[in-house]
């Protein structure tokens, strides 16, 4: 087994220091346009991060067992050298992009990842707002293990990717010089990712590199100021509800579904998916009995 450092553990002091520096910066130089900090929100984010450490330790046992089995079955082996480690970090970032993108467009995966987007603030504590159900992530890295990458290297590169992303959760850093903005995931790019405006939704999935978004058509540059949070925000600071609210919503939708096709759609389609029949029924309810739209003076419910 390769002996690689726990980069996440070693980075904790830097996380704490940088968060304190950012908090102090808002005290000394307030920004009326920035979201800044709010005590309950920050406490919830830190609590979610601490909880994720506990649950990730639990999920690790079955995931490591699966990875180890695949690794033993494949005849391939990738040696751990300085240059192969760089290539494996690049490969992990590629698969992270697809994992991240998948967790935005498949609802049962979104139920895990939505936790990270549930804050209406955007600061360094938002980076700590991690899900407790990361058992949905491991399948995306199976190709690396099957190609002979040791599971310990997967853990190392995933930790390095997560550590890198900590600093991009801030409004205190403006756009960087163009070469950096073109290649790397930056605070500007990640602000777009956390925004809830229509033009910003489901964009900029990159972890370390933004080139994957440029290659696969999911890149959008920051222009207007982002509005953070969800399209339908949850008004709670309860960590348990933050961690599970979308799973509860899926369960409610499954119970209310009229067919097995709709039940499958509620789980495996996108987060905002509605069956055509329900869309047609809702449109008919908005239209009058004559088939015309209701008068403009009648207020319609928000979507």
CA atoms within 13 A on the CB side of 253: 23
Give the whole-number percent of the chain exceeding pLDDT 90. Answer: 84
Q: Which residues contact 146 (CB under 8 A, 6 or more apart)?
A: 70, 74, 76
Give pLDDT < 50 ranges for the chain. Answer: 291-303
State how far the Cα of 66 lies from the Cα of 43, in Å rounded to an integer: 35
Which pLDDT does position 294 carry in this prediction?
A: 38
Tens of pLDDT, residues 167-182 = 999 999 999 999 999 9
Q: Where are the alpha helices (DSSP H) in the chain?
A: 7-28, 39-73, 82-105, 107-113, 142-146, 151-166, 178-183, 187-194, 211-216, 239-256, 260-268, 276-286
Which pLDDT does position 296 carry in this prediction?
A: 37
Q: pTM of the predicted model, to two decimals?
A: 0.91
A 10 A CB-CB count for 38 gives 15
Which pLDDT does position 297 carry in this prediction?
A: 34
Indicate if the alpha-carbon torsion angle 150, 154, 160, 163 is positive or negative.
negative
Tens of pLDDT, residues 87-105 = 999 999 999 999 999 999 9
Cα–Cα–Cα angle for 45, 48, 49, rounded to 5 degrees: 90
Query: What ranges do the domains of the chain cover?
Result: 37-275
Strand partners, 228: 195
């Amino acid at each position: 087994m390769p002996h690689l450092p726990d980069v996440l553990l070693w980075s904790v002091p830097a996380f704490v220091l940088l968060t304190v520096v950012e908090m102090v910066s808002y005290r000394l130089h307030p920004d009326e346009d920035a979201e800044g900090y709010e005590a309950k929100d920050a406490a919830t984010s830190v609590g979610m991060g601490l909880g994720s450490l506990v649950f990730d330790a639990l999920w690790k046992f079955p995931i490591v067992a699966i990875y180890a089995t695949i690794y033993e079955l494949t005849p391939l082996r990738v040696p751990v050298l300085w240059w192969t480690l760089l290539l494996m970090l690049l490969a992990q970032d590629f698969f992270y992009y697809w994992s991240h993108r998948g967790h935005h467009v498949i609802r049962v995966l979104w139920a895990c990842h939505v936790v990270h987007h549930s804050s209406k603030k955007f600061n360094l504590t938002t980076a700590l707002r991690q899900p407790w159900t990361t058992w949905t992530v491991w399948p995306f890295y199976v190709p690396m293990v099957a190609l002979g990458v040791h599971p310990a290297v997967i853990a190392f590169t995933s930790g390095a990717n997560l550590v890198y992303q900590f600093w991009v959760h801030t409004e205190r850093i403006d756009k960087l010089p163009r070469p950096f903005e073109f290649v790397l995931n930056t605070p500007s790019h990640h602000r777009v990712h956390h925004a809830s405006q229509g033009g910003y939704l489901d964009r900029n999935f990159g972890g370390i590199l933004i080139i994957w978004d440029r290659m696969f058509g999911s890149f959008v540059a920051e222009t207007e100021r982002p509005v953070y949070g969800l399209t339908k925000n949850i008004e709670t600071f309860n960590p348990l509800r933050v961690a599970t609210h979308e799973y509860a919503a899926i369960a409610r939708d499954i119970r209310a579904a009229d067919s097995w096709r709709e039940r499958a759609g509620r789980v495996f389609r996108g987060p905002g998916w509605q069956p055509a029949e329900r869309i047609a029924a809702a449109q008919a309810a908005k239209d009058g009995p004559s088939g015309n739209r209701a008068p403009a003076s009648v207020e319609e419910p928000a979507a």
